[in-house]
């Protein structure tokens, strides 16, 4: 099976500019890039598709360029957005870029020139605006840009001229790297198609040469929502923002209808094994979810952390709280107690399980809070210093576990 056939079989290929791409990547002739704007100080589970794709392509002999968007982050990608992105300072962007580099090295081999890591701030921030308009602006049709899908949602509430320039900046990245680094291909999410075509067209018009683009399928659940978020918050690759246990639990709890798709698209398990697993039903789906969670946690946090997370999750699933040391935890002090005890509502707020006492009260009243496997009977329940010194495990809803101790 060729690389392209495997990508198709895994459901990764969305659109390609032309069939020449197939030969290029199958024979290891691609020097390709994927861009990562530095909007936070950690990559998320939403970046998994791009990171694993880069790894697959590199394993087949192609050369990746991980492009850190130090320049484009100063504008903000409007794709899929209903509002304008928060404007970050140069210092924030530089810090975020440094964090990205550490995490990418777990997926991509940068040794001996096998891959490059570039920052588009190095060329975008030095551009002269009038020269750029004369040199590049004439190659873009405003009519075509306004029809681009990446601007669709922003057009409803008002697209700023700042964001309107994003397509030109991304296209210029491809044009610049084509000339200076021999980059002949760009990969990205399917919502980036218009921006990517802008780059191939700019190269064709300015240099008279062909460059290629391929989009990968966005990772969505059975309801069509992007995966990689839990309770409205991102699932981070940084263990200080999302612990290995929480990371494992996120993938362990994906829907039955989503688990095989995630295994096929995100893991490196052989397709023959995945095809066999796709026949599993009922209880065996839980086994498939464990495999998914373990494989992805191992990829991000290492095999030892993955094993710890799996053991802790299994212990909790069986009703035991003995292996709670690897789950998220909050350490209280005597100052947090009032007359030697603390109420469940205050406890949940301090543990970050509720934003306010009111929210915590609603969860308790609705029967959604358990402590050491027992449902909390009333919002007036409190816990003594003696109970907390042994450590308690709070379960919120079906999936969120948290250890609290004194």
Write down the mean pLDDT value for the chain. 86
Q: What is the mean pLDDT of residues 128-137?
A: 86
- Give the start-to-end residue ranges of the domains of the chain: 3-218, 244-319, 329-404
Contacts of residue 152, Cβ cutoff 8 Å, sequence gap at least 6: none
Q: What is the pLDDT at residue 166?
A: 80
State the pLDDT confidence band at 190, using cuts at 50, 70 and 90.
confident
Q: What is the pLDDT at residue 161?
A: 67
171 alpha-carbon distance from chain centroid: 23
Question: Is the confidence at residue 85, as pLDDT, over 50?
Answer: no
Structure tokens at 196: 């990517």
Q: What is the pLDDT at residue 80?
A: 41
Q: What is the mean pLDDT of residues 238-263?
A: 91
Nearest to 105 by CA among 299, 240, 359, 333: 299
Q: What is the pLDDT at residue 295?
A: 97
Question: What is the architecture of the domain spanning 3-218?
Answer: 3-Layer(aba) Sandwich (3.40)
State the pLDDT confidence band at 315, using cuts at 50, 70 and 90.
confident
Q: What is the mean pLDDT of residues 350-372?
A: 87
Distance separating alpha carbons of residues 392 and 406, to the nearest angstrom = 10
Question: Is the confidence at residue 241, as pLDDT, over 90?
Answer: no
Question: Is the confidence at residue 121, as pLDDT, over 70?
Answer: yes
Does the domain at 329-404 match CATH 3.40.50.300? Answer given as no
Q: What is the pLDDT at residue 26?
A: 97
Q: Which residue has the higher pLDDT, 57 or 146?
A: 57
Distance separating alpha carbons of residues 308 and 204, to the nearest angstrom = 52
As annotated, the binding site for L-tyrosine includes 33, 166, 170
| pLDDT digits 0-9 by tens, 207-240 | 999 999 999 988 887 778 888 776 567 889 999 8
Question: Is the confidence at residue 289, as pLDDT, over 80?
Answer: yes
- Residue pointed to by tokens 């690897």: 326
3-state secondary structure of 85: coil
Q: What is the pLDDT at residue 314?
A: 82
> CATH fold of 244-319, please?
Tyrosyl-Transfer RNA Synthetase (1.10.240)
Question: Is the confidence at residue 77, as pLDDT, over 70?
Answer: no
Question: Is the confidence at residue 79, as pLDDT, over 70?
Answer: no
H or E stretch at 400: strand 400-405
Residue 152: half-sphere exposure toward Cβ, Cα within 13 Å: 9
Answer yes or no: are the C-beta atoms of 4 and 16 closer than 8 Å: no
As annotated, the binding site for ATP includes 229
Question: CA geometry: angle at 371 spanning 311 and 258, to 5°?
Answer: 50
Nearest to 264 by CA among 7, 69, 28: 7
| pLDDT digits 0-9 by tens, 322-354 | 455 667 778 888 888 888 889 999 988 888 888
Least confident segment among 32-46, 57-71, 253-267, 390-404:
390-404
Question: Is the confidence at residue 73, as pLDDT, over 60?
Answer: yes
Answer yes or no: are the C-beta atoms of 81 and 153 closer than 8 Å: yes
As annotated, the binding site includes 33, 166, 170, 229
DSSP lists the bridge partners of residue 44 as 236
Q: What is the mean pLDDT of residues 346-365?
A: 87
Is 390 buried (19+), middle (13-18) or exposed (0-12) by CB count in 10 A?
A: exposed
Of 97-101, 261-265, 346-350, 379-383, the range with the highest mean pLDDT is 261-265
Question: Is the confidence at residue 158, as pLDDT, over 70?
Answer: no
Q: What is the pLDDT at residue 323?
A: 54
State the pLDDT confidence band at 63, using cuts at 50, 70 and 90.
very high
Task: With both helix axes pointing from N to C terminus, report the angle between 259-266 and 283-301 in degrees, rounded to the nearest 10.
Answer: 30
Q: What is the pLDDT at residue 78?
A: 42
């Amino acid at each position: 099976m060729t690389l392209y056939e495997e990508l198709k079989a895994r459901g990764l290929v969305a659109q390609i500019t032309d069939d020449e791409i197939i030969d290029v990547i199958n024979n290891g002739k691609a020097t390709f890039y994927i861009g990562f704007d530095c909007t936070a100080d950690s990559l998320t589970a939403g970046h998994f598709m791009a990171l694993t794709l880069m790894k697959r392509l590199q394993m087949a002999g192609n050369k990746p360029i991980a492009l850190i968007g130090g320049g484009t982050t100063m504008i903000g990608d409007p794709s899929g957005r209903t509002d304008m992105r928060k404007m970050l300072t140069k210092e924030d962007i530089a810090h975020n870029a440094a964090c990205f580099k550490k995490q990418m090295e777990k997926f991509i081999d940068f040794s001996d020139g096998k891959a490059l890591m570039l920052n588009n701030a190095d060329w975008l921030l030095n551009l002269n605006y009038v020269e750029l308009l004369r040199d590049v602006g004439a190659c873009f049709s405003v009519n075509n840009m306004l029809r681009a899908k990446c601007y669709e949602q922003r057009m409803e509430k008002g697209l700023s001229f700042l964001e309107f320039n994003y397509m030109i900046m991304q296209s210029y990245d491809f044009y610049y790297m084509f000339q200076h680094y021999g980059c002949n291909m760009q990969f990205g999410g399917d919502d980036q198609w218009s921006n990517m075509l802008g780059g191939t067209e700019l190269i064709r018009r300015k240099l008279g040469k062909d460059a290629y683009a391929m989009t990968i399928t966005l990772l969505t659940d059975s309801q069509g929502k992007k995966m990689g978020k839990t309770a409205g918050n991102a699932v981070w690759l940084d263990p200080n923002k999302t612990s290995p246990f929480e990371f494992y639990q996120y993938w362990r709890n994906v829907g039955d209808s989503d688990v095989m798709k995630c295994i096929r698209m995100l893991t490196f398990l052989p397709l023959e094994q995945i095809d066999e697993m796709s026949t599993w039903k009922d209880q065996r789906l839980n086994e498939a979810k464990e495999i998914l969670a373990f494989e992805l946690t191992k990829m991000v946090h290492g095999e030892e952390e993955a094993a710890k997370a799996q053991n802790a999750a299994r212990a909790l699933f069986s009703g035991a709280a003995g292996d709670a040391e690897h789950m998220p935890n909050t350490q209280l002090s005597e100052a947090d107690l009032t007359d030697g005890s603390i109420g469940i509502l205050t406890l949940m707020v301090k543990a970050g399980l509720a934003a306010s006492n009111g929210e915590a009260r609603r969860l308790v009243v609705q029967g959604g809070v358990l402590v050491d496997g027992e449902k909390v009977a009333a919002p007036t329940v409190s816990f003594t210093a003696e109970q907390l010194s042994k450590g308690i495990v709070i379960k919120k809803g079906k999936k969120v576990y948290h250890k609290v101790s004194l």
